[in-house]
A and B are shown apart, each in its own frame.
Chain A
Amino acid sequence: MQTYEGILAHIRSQIQEISLGMINAADINPDAHILEDLGLDSLDYASVLLECEKWLGIKVREDGVDWGRISTVADLAAFLEREQRR
């Protein structure tokens, strides 16, 4: 089971990887909006999510999730932490 901080760090590293290093993990503010602030698109977001699922060994719920409310890096980390405890 990963901690919130561990998950947050992993998301940051995945964003750095998906951006081919254009975004430095250390510079990513947890309150940054994944799509609006970091310049990623929905495909990039989907890739980061998928990599995190694989790393955590989980599959997130497909129904009943309001993705509009999971918009920042911190939101995503908190969501994944809850999902891994489900």
Chain B
Amino acid sequence: MRVHRTTQPITEFPPGGSFVVRCGWPGWFRCDVMVVWDYLRQAARHPVNIMLLSEPGPVLAGSSHVERLSDASGDTSFVVLRTSGTTGAPKEVTKELGTALNIDRIGSERQCWLLTYAPFRWAGLSVMIHALNQDAELIVPDSLTVAGILDAALTESATHISLTPSLLRKMVLSASQANLAKLAFEQVTFGGEAVSQPVLDLARKLWPNARLSHVYAATEFGDICSVSDGLAGIPRHKFEREGFLFSPDGELVINEKPSGDLWTLKDNRYFFVGRREEVINVGGAKVSPIEVENAALNVIGVTEARAYAVPSPLVGQVVGLDYCGQAEASDVRLHLRSVLPKTAWPALLQKVERIELTGAGKLSRNVVRQ
């Protein structure tokens, strides 16, 4: 399905209103996208607010998809992104749209942006806002599965894609090289997760004519910076801005708000270590799950990998690693021992059938041991 800023809206969001949209129900992806697409176009014209409430699970009896909350909205439009808390602590982030929406620009060439994120997440909203501002068409897959995304990319001739590195890996596993090479992307933007050099090199090999970028963004802060030099990491100067500081243990603090993201500086570039809650504390030594995963992915026969903290009564936490592929566990273990410090060696190493991604296309490191 393709939509454009000129597509006839289905849902009306009159000026001066506040609405809640319950989204994320299985099978409702395209419907959610259309509601948010309609909202963004109208929010660019008049103040109207929306709360995107993601509630995974069955449809609630008596509830409706879009519901008017109140008549008060203020002078500008804003979006509230709220998770229900059914799978964790409820979170709520408010984004003022203000000047972010500019839908009067006429694009010089028709771009086709493929949506690979849910519309109730900042990543999805960001892609939709960019597409609107660029006068582009938005390609909406049938579903946010790898098969759905690949099918949409091929049949709708997507020119632009924004995706997580984990999603690219799944696409490479699911599609033939010939089919992937048919995708004539002009722009490939990585986001949501730190992108490693091998992933950038893979994308360059698949799509030699595409412009490659990776974006660092956070729901609370929006898009923070973009890198297009083909190298992993963020050039140092991009973080040397007013309001940007690092705590002693490497957490980025923006305008006195801790980001929860830990970084390390090497060769004048910042490399993402991990989210504070995902960094593994092995007897006091901090281990980056990303570093362990990247090392495992270098083993021939390992197609996917996920590292996570495993509680240990002896040392606090140890490293657990799940991996997919044909590689033998002994080979994986041997390689990791040769390239990683001892604290990063997985104490628990498991070959698994699949590693699921979250609804945001990211690796979930919140592993519950059975």
Contacts and interface: CB of A to CB of B under 8 A. Distances in A.
Contacts of B343: 43
Contacts of A51: 347-348
B310 A50 contact: yes
Where chain A touches its partner, the secondary structure class is helix
A43 B345 contact: yes
A82 B310 CA distance: 22
A46 B282 CA distance: 10
B282 A43 contact: yes
Contact of A43 (B311, B315, B334, B348): B315
Contacts of A50: 310, 312, 318, 347-348
Nearest to B347: A47
Given A51-B348, A54-B348, A46 B369 contact: no
A42 B335 CA distance: 21
Question: Which of the listed residues A43, A60, A65 has the most CB atoms from chain B within 10 Å of its own CB?
Answer: A43
A46 B347 contact: yes
The secondary structure that dominates the B interface is mixed
B241 interface: no
Interface in B317-360: 318, 334, 337, 342-343, 345, 347-348
B283 interface: yes
A22 to B, nearest CB: 13
Interface residues of B, number: 17
B369 A59 contact: yes
B369 to A, nearest CB: 7
A45 interface: yes
Give the most central of B311, B314, B343, B345: most A CB within 10 Å.
B314
A46 B311 contact: no
A82 to B, nearest CB: 15
B90 interface: no
A36 interface: no
Contacts of B369: 59
B313 A65 contact: yes
Interface in B156-183: none
Contact-residue bracket for chain A: 10 to 19
A27 interface: no
A46 B337 CA distance: 16
Nearest to A54: B348
Given A54-B348, A59-B369, A43 B313 contact: no
A56 interface: no
A42 B315 contact: yes
A59 B311 CA distance: 10
Interface in A1-52: 20, 41-43, 45-47, 49-51
Contact of B313 (A20, A41, A47, A62): A62
B340 to A, nearest CB: 12
Contacts of A45: 314
B222 to A, nearest CB: 40
A50 B317 CA distance: 11
A63 B68 CA distance: 51
Nearest to A62: B313
Interface string B183-210: 0000000000000000000000000000
Contacts of A20: 334, 337
B287 to A, nearest CB: 11
7 contacts: A20-B334, A41-B342, A43-B347, A45-B314, A46-B318, A49-B314, A67-B314
The 10 closest A-B pairs by CB, nearest first: A47-B347, A46-B314, A46-B312, A50-B347, A62-B313, A46-B315, A46-B318, A50-B348, A42-B315, A46-B347
